[in-house]
A = this chain, B = another copy of it.
């Protein structure tokens, strides 16, 4: 069984329809991965995710390594069992989190030493250790330790990150095979770095493609750079990636960014946006955000999103959800997060249907117009 089946290409854009095959089931691509940093998608249950139609969940190696620790997840028989989620899981490497601890880490070619954000205890991660942890987690897709450049970043630093990321990728792949992770059905990605420098992005993509992983991710994006620059990076990089492997645009993004990135050939997305915005009471619709605390909704007994048929929209009113937010009641967070994750999952379904029908170009134009997206002119 191949890891990725390319079903069809859209005639007018670079959008593609495919299937990602994993040990825990197939995933129709392009797809969105709800983020369950600590083995839970904030405020939602795994049954909620099933009801929403999520086909995969993403968790975070760094956070799970610290709490509850790999020993406990290992004793549970892996992350699927620990969190009671038998569909596919992707775990990221923890690299992004560790590199965010700017003053708390010490970086060398060997690996990275850091202090836990919880108790300040020292830990050391290197490419091999990151694989060992994800081997215990048993994730269907695993990410290598990379060096994620901040924004802005000098060309010298960005070049160093590219060099280290490639070297670590080779060590990662060797360890991945040596320890039999591939034989146990796990799949390995590379992560292209290079900041906003075209030659570095191309170099990174070339070097990592040569290492030959199962899938390719574009990292070091959505780290504070202008959106225009982010899509430039995407354009340069995606040209370099092989067609027969899934492409993952890490940590992206707002709905219009996803629609745009699909048109450029991206297959996989993740972001905390739907759950985080939900917890702040901002709810996604095709016409933009509904900020539910707004006084204009106090006696609005219509649904959060009149075009949505999710559980929250079918059963509860804006006025009620606003009341829940105003009184600090957890059900408000739940309903807003539920709607938002449903919105993202459903958006991907609409995207796939449009590609299936050879009308992604039109879908994209219509969506960006209705959303009043700045991307319509990019």
List residues of chain A with CB under 8 Å of any chain B CB: 38-40, 42-47, 63, 67-68, 71-72, 75-76, 81-84, 298-299, 301, 311, 315-317, 319-320, 322-324, 326-327, 329-331, 333-335
CA distance A83 to B315 in the complex (A): 9
Distance in angstroms between the alpha carbons of A39 and B45 in the assembled complex:
22
Q: Nearest-CB distance from A66 to chain B (Å)?
A: 9
Listed by A's residue number, 18 A-B pairs whose Cβ atoms lie within 8 Å are: A38-B323, A42-B329, A42-B330, A43-B330, A43-B331, A43-B334, A45-B331, A47-B315, A63-B327, A67-B323, A67-B326, A67-B327, A68-B326, A72-B323, A75-B299, A81-B301, A82-B317, A84-B315
Is A323 within 8 A of B47, CB to CB? no
Beyond the given pairs A43-B334, A45-B334, A82-B317, 10 more chain A to chain B contacts, judged by CB atoms under 8 angstroms and listed by A's residue number, are A38-B324, A42-B329, A45-B335, A47-B311, A68-B323, A72-B319, A75-B299, A84-B316, A330-B333, A330-B334
Question: Which one, B63, B84, B317, contacts A320 given CB within 8 A?
Answer: B84
Cβ of B331 and Cβ of A40 under 8 Å apart? yes
Give complex CA distance A153, B48 in Å: 49
The answer to whether B46 touches A315, judged by C-beta atoms less than 8 angstroms apart, is yes
Asked if residues B38 and A301 are in contact (CB atoms below 8 Å), the reply is no
Interface pair A38/B327, CB less than 8 Å apart: yes
Q: Are B329 and A38 in contact (CB under 8 A)?
A: yes
Which B residues touch A331, using CB under 8 A?
A: 40, 42-45
* Minimum-distance CB pairs A-B, first 5: A43-B330, A68-B323, A40-B331, A38-B327, A40-B329
Min CB distance A319 to B, Å, is: 6
Most buried by B among A40, A44, A67, A75: A40
Q: Name which residue of chain B comes closest to A66, CB basis.
A: B327
Across the interface, which residues of B come within 8 angstroms of A334, CB to CB? Answer: 43, 45, 330, 334
Instruction: Give A230 Cβ to nearest chain B Cβ, in Å.
Output: 30
Do A75 and B330 form a contact, CB below 8 Å, given A82-B320, A83-B320? no
